[in-house]
Structure 1
Amino acid sequence: MSTPLVTVTVTDSVDDVDTVQWEQVAAASSAPVHYTPAYLRAYQESPLSPFLAARYLTVADTGRTLAVLPCYLQKQGDPYGFLRGVGIDEADGPALLGHNWYCYDTRVPVRATGPAQQVRVLGAVLDALRELADADGARTAGLVSVPEGDPVLDVARNKGWRVEPIVTRFQLPLHGPAGDAFDSYDSYLATLGSRTRRTIRQYLRRAADAGVTTAVEAPRPDFLRTVGDLTRRTAAKYGSAGMYPETAFTDFVMALGDSARVVRVDRGDRTLAAAVVLLDDERLHMWAGGTSHATLDGFSPNYLLWATEIRTAIEWRKRWVEGGRSNQPMKTRHGMMPLRLFACIAPPDA
């Protein structure tokens, strides 16, 4: 598959990818942890949602990799109904989609010499994705969870692809109004509304009085079973407990190595809340977690979990906390900013 000056290569395993160049492209475009070879290998070997095939696209010019994109052929391309919700009914069948639904920051990482080359490279990726979907017998080809303002949206529109907003994700910038990075958790709290700030501080005091402790640690299989159980119980309230199957959850997180940490809230030998956070150079991702109680002895274990995650991100000098999708009230109270996510779907007759 090719366009003038660039060639698209497709492999079915991350082990067949030139990971050195892949990482260089991902780093040059500040792509999140979901694009690292470690994440891709973990998902390939322990998929949280089974897929029919993986497709790793690389775009090169004279041997130099310019863009990368991981895609997955799924039996059901719209498991959560986001695409049907905007009238893209054909996506409910077999679909070839990039990235996967666990990634809320889909992009085509590109290192280009200028806007013209970027447009040419992005166009080559979309053409290849469409052709691959046809060869795989998929009803749908597309990208999901593309952030508003990403240049691939305009390229897709110009090619006649359908581009629709499907859901909102939330981000917390770790700097104050003047642009200076927070130097402490208290400096972050000072930017919140007085009621939220007062509630968080009250919960922190009550939890300390109750003997509650918090910790951030490397994942361990035995404790990941506890994290997974709390995550599934919390996700069940939103109809998505199936996103975190027990064995795959543990194996996937363990395979991430230094890209994953566990945050926990305990009282004695009882875990009240726990989460897995993902890490890259710029971000701490609030990836998956849950709590045993909404409130307990006058405080919320979930608020303590969030406080520990945000404090950790500040101490580790991250630029952003990624809050994922949904749960807008909680996230806006904590100062997170909404960012619309789009789907780009190739026309059915393409």
Structure 2
Amino acid sequence: MQVVVTGSIDGTDLDGWARVVAADAAPVHYTPAYLRAYQEHPLSPYTAVRYLTVVQDGRPVAVLPCYLQQQGDPYGALAGAGLPTGDRPALLGHSWYCYDTRVPMLPTGAEQREAVLEVLLDALEKLRIAEGAGVAGLVNVAEHDPLLALARRRGWRVAPIVDRYQLPLQAAPTYESYLMTLGTRTRRTLRQYARRAEEAGVTLTIEAPTPARLASVCALTRLTAAKYGSADMYPEPAFTDFVMGLGEHARVARVDQGDRPLAAAVLLLDEQRLHMWVGGAAEATVDRFSPNYLLWAMEIRAAIELGKSWVEGGRSNRTMKERYGMRQLPLYACVTAEAP
């Protein structure tokens, strides 16, 4: 096995990369379309991007995107987990906007999987030195990913970083069957809000993104994110340009009252999942209903109608997400020891 490193997604074996991502049922964040959109319109600045492809017998068997960041921990997530990155750049995968960091790989046995991961982490450590980074590592890795055990054996620092949330839909073939999985009061609230919104003349729409719609979504997203000090994660015009670059992987969900936008979100789609990516609302309550809850219900209904197996709810807001059926998935970060 060897690892091929390129500085552009279009410099990789695109067909081979896409085959690996599809075979591993990896999320949208690993598709060439997503990586190209983020490369050209980054939401958070990076110094360089490095695409690592493990090649065996002339074909790609595993892939990993990494970003060399001058400010390795821009949102303080690693420091909060006790993994400070120091003052030097950091080489990290995936981007901070991906809550599902993994090494997409062709299906294989446990022994071969570990061999591939060993080769890849060797390459990541060497690349850290070549790029002059203080640390290298992976963020937002699922708790039971074999990658974490290997990182520990190599002496990397491993720590819990945040939780993400996911709703399985295999047992909910219809929206009504989803509602029946919820508590009585929770189910009643969603139905009640839907009736009140209809009486108030509210329209619910899911459509392909346009620059004008995305500008509105970004404004609502920044308004909501500002409450948590994270509005800068969604800069314009990069936000609009990035989402437009996703093509068929992106949709816009809207809750409107006449010409007045009440709530909106960007949804990301891949073969198995609908991702509740980002969104916001102008007000918490309007005419005795919550626009945010309408948005939630609309997204769940859309995922079911599209035949998705999972709804990805992203990070944080545990109370609300668990009340509405999502399960908690702990995430970890693993980084090399800081270079002297």
* TM-score, normalisation: structure 2: 0.98
1:310 aligns with 300
| Matched residue, 2:18 | 23
Q: Distance in 1 between matches of 2:300 and 2:282?
A: 20
Report the counterpart of residue 206 of structure 1 in structure 2: 196
Alpha-carbon distance in 2 for matches of 1:289, 1:86:
26
Asked if 1 retains the 8 angstrom alpha-carbon contact of 2:70 and 2:88, the reply is: yes
Task: Say which SS state the counterpart of residue 278 (structure 2) adopts.
Answer: strand
Q: Aligned partners of 1:211 and 1:90: how far apart in 2? A: 51
Counterpart amino acid of residue 42 in structure 1: A
Residue 349 of structure 1 deviates from its aligned partner by 4.8
Equivalent in the alignment of 2:147: 152
- Deviation of 1:91 (Å): 5.0
Identify the range of structure 1 (249-258 vs 77-86) with the bigger mean alpha-carbon deviation: 77-86
Q: Which residue of 2 aligns with 1:301?
A: 291
Partner of 1:321: 311
Corresponding position: 1:87 with 2:82 = yes
SS in structure 2 of the partner of residue 163 of structure 1: strand
Opposite residue 90 of structure 1, the aligned amino acid is: T
Q: CA RMSD in A?
A: 1.1
CA offsets, 1:264-306, max 9 Å, x none? 0011111100000000000000001000110011000000001
Cα distance in 1 for partners of 2:261, 2:316 equals: 25
- Give the counterpart of 2:333 among 306, 330, 343: 343
Give the aligned partner of residue 28 of structure 2.
33
**3-state DSSP of counterpart to 1:237:** helix
- Contact 1:83/1:91 (<8 A) preserved: no
Q: Which residue of 2 aligns with 1:227?
A: 217
Which one is further off, 86-95 or 108-117? 86-95
Deviations 1:221-271 (A, max 9, x none): 011100000000001111110011010000000000000000000111111
* Residues 1:44 and 2:39 are matched in the alignment: yes
- Which residues of structure 2 form unaligned runs of 5+? none
2:159 is equivalent to residue 169 of structure 1: no
**Cα separation, 1, equivalents of 2:28 and 2:156:** 27
State the alpha-carbon separation in 2 of the partners of residues 160 and 93 from structure 1: 20
What residue identity is the alignment partner of 1:252? F
Distance 1:95 1:21 in 2: 27
Asked whether 1:140 is paired with 2:140, we answer no
Structure 1 residue 104 corresponds to structure 2 residue 110: no
Equivalent positions of 1:247-286 (< 5 A) are 247-286=237-276
Count of equivalent residues = 340
Structure 1 length normalisation: TM-score?
0.95
- 1:130 offset after TM fit, Å? 1.2
Structure 1 residue 93: deviation in Å? Answer: 3.8
Query: CA–CA distance in 1 between the matches of 2:158 and 2:83?
Result: 10
Instruction: Quote how far apart the aligned CAs of 1:113 are.
Output: 3.3
Gaps of at least 5 residues in structure 1 are 1-5, 177-181
Cα contact 1:216–1:264 (8 A) shared by 2:
yes
Letter in 1 for 2:60: T
How far off is 1:175 after superposition?
2.9
The aligned residue for residue 3 of structure 1 is none
3-state SS of paired residue (1:311): helix
Q: Identity over the aligned pairs, expressed in percent?
A: 64
